[in-house]
Structure 1
């Protein structure tokens, strides 16, 4: 892999290059809706040696560059090009947003304390490293087709709008899709009365004796009223995006569904123990599972993830559980079961990913 190929790759992915006075330190960026994503490239192949303090100073200078343009939400991931991982280990240990490109084996090295993905770019970088010329040619072909489509659009679209379209903003597809589904189901319920609640709500006797196992899933998409729906979806929207970004779409969807099922199973056990006979519904168990997964991620990233810290999460969790305990008709068992299920599965996925990275990339 040569620098020109990296330039072409980044350009093909919609990133703009900003060279610096020192050629070993360059960065690429593209603008999202309300923030900027940045790849900070450090070429460690040129007998370079920097301390962790110097490294973070460079990142601060990048943030200052955008602050001068009144842009303050800047997400930076460093790509260090180095054939000897030991030379840059001191930087990787200090920064969870730091990946290493081994130019000898054309391999992406991600250490155990690093983010698993960065706005969907991990898989693209890995594909690029396997065969840079082929990937670049494919990207150029797609770009040519996009340019053809662009010509037939209305002439009123300005340069900034075209750049936004071309850059391809990261979208949390699973989070958005689940919210839309929940809203649509609720709208249908307003016209059908209790029919869907009776057919799809979680009812312990129907689940075990009637073998209606589907209720463990369908009940997650039913809400009793607007407040119930809104309180679940607003938390889910803000927290789910971060979990989806770090685990990826598929793993995130598995965490959500599994946590919801686990919440219903714990709820069933509690109802049997207390001899209760109720129908429960709501995405709370799955949402608490997302909160549990976020807590695992925060712990794995030294106590903070973007603007979320462990202390803030623990306060939110404690308040949510307290509100459930003092409130009426709240399925606290589902909350606790979903939280534990989401946290456990997130930990297993994180630990498995760490083991894979250690085995394949010799990361520590």
Structure 2
């Protein structure tokens, strides 16, 4: 059952404040919305009915859309093409080198964005992904009601890395409740143990927590912030960022203890979690200070409050927090510099 009809997609556009532009071609639909600067246009191509368009025709059509609005006096016209298709390779070939062309897999309810294409378009990435996820669930319920087997779509859009990381931390904590101090003695961060060759503690200490409150506070932030960052970076870059942030936090902590002589044992995912927050700050800043409902000021304020609470509380490894947030920010910046994610400077 194909839940992704043009009428339903059109209603989504209307809910977001877009108006439909009349078209004589049923396979091509256009929707526009006025922004602070210029006009944004969603250009929808229904590629599911045996339609074929050459690259030249596609390019000409897009140029005509821009010309239509420029003739009306609009100096800035930003156009995003959405290609609906069950044949994703055919749709990708149509997009070609167009940075502002996304493919919607109507069979699997997925939004496909190539690494050379714009990572977002006025918040539409998240809007479409959430909408497609809701359609996938609706379709899944219909399949189950008809006795058909479960399809894989529902699982593909879940933030698996965030879920696995939270699960690992919880499982390790549960093991600690039955083993007493064993894992803490063997895996907690300790500079003296590091100098004795137990460098693995830089990693293992990230998954140990002293008590339920310590675990709960870290996991809440990790899941909700991590889900956003994982969607933006992708699973593997996000997992790498998490580990690097945790390691950086422990290295900062080691440096602080060597400088001050204030040695002690520490544990927790805080360094890695602060790294995820640092990455979120960069991503918001890279999108001109606003991403979804978040602003750079709000994210920076939340990080500052968390750091302040740490500095004013006893027994907190603040060096790990600082190291983690700096590494997370830098790692997200490196992802952009290496082309792993795309941002744009003209608000498209």
TM-score, length-scaled by structure 1: 0.62
Q: Does 1:333 align with 2:309?
A: no
Q: What is the match of residue 59 of structure 2?
A: 83
SS at match of 2:310: helix
1:238 maps to 224
Residues 67-115 of structure 1: per-residue CA shift (max 9 Å, x gap):
xxxxxxxxxxxxxx952677769444xx9xx56779876426437xx9x
Deviation at 1:213, TM superposition (A): 2.0
Q: C-alpha separation between the residues in 1 aligned to 2:93 and 2:218?
A: 48
Q: CA separation of 1:55/1:164 partners in 2, compared to 1, >3 Å: closer, same or farther? A: farther
Contiguous gaps of at least 5 residues in structure 1 = 1-10, 21-25, 30-35, 60-80, 127-149, 359-363
Taking structure 1 as reference, are residues 162 and 278 closer, same or farther at Cα in structure 2, changes over 3 Å only?
farther
The equivalent residue for 1:4 is: none
Conserved? CA contact 2:252–2:320, under 8 Å: yes
Is the Cα contact below 8 Å between 1:203 and 1:278 reproduced in 2?
yes
Please report how far the alpha carbon of residue 17 of structure 1 lies from its aligned counterpart in structure 2 after TM superposition: 1.5
Q: Which residue of 2 is the match for residue 18 of structure 1?
A: 6
SS at match of 2:314: coil
Deviation per CA, 1:222-257: give whole Å up to 9, x if none.
Answer: 000000000000011110000000111000001100
Q: Note the aligned Cα RMSD (angstroms).
A: 4.5
**Pair 1:353-2:342 in alignment:** no
Distance 1:108 1:236, change over 3 A: farther
> Which whole-Å CA distance do the structure 1 matches of 2:178 and 2:312 have between them?
32
Where does residue 199 of structure 1 map in the other structure? 186
What residue number does 1:182 align with? 169
Q: Which runs of 5+ in 2 are unaligned?
A: 44-56, 67-74, 84-90, 103-108, 117-139
CA deviation digits over 1:43-64, x for unaligned, max 9?
99989896755955979xxxxx
Cα displacement (A) at 1:340:
0.2
Distance 2:311 2:115 in 1: 47
Give the deviation of 1:321 after TM superposition: 0.7
Over 3 Å counting, the alpha-carbon distance change for 1:27 and 1:103 in structure 2 is farther
The 3 A distance-change label for structure 1 pair 343 and 120 is farther
Match of 2:170, SS?
helix
**Corresponding residue of 1:3:** none
Q: Give 1:228's aligned residue.
A: 214
Paired residues of 1:266 and 1:333 also in contact (CA < 8 A): yes
Find the residue that maps to 1:121 and give its secondary structure: strand
Matched length: 275
Q: Aligned partners of 1:248, 1:282: CA distance in 2, in Å?
A: 24
1:265 paired with 2:267, answer no
| Counterpart Cα distance in 2 of 1:172 and 1:273 | 39
Deviations 1:303-352 (A, max 9, x none): 12222211211111111011001111101100000000010010010122
Which residue of the partner structure matches residue 96 of structure 2? 107
TM-score using structure 2 length:
0.65
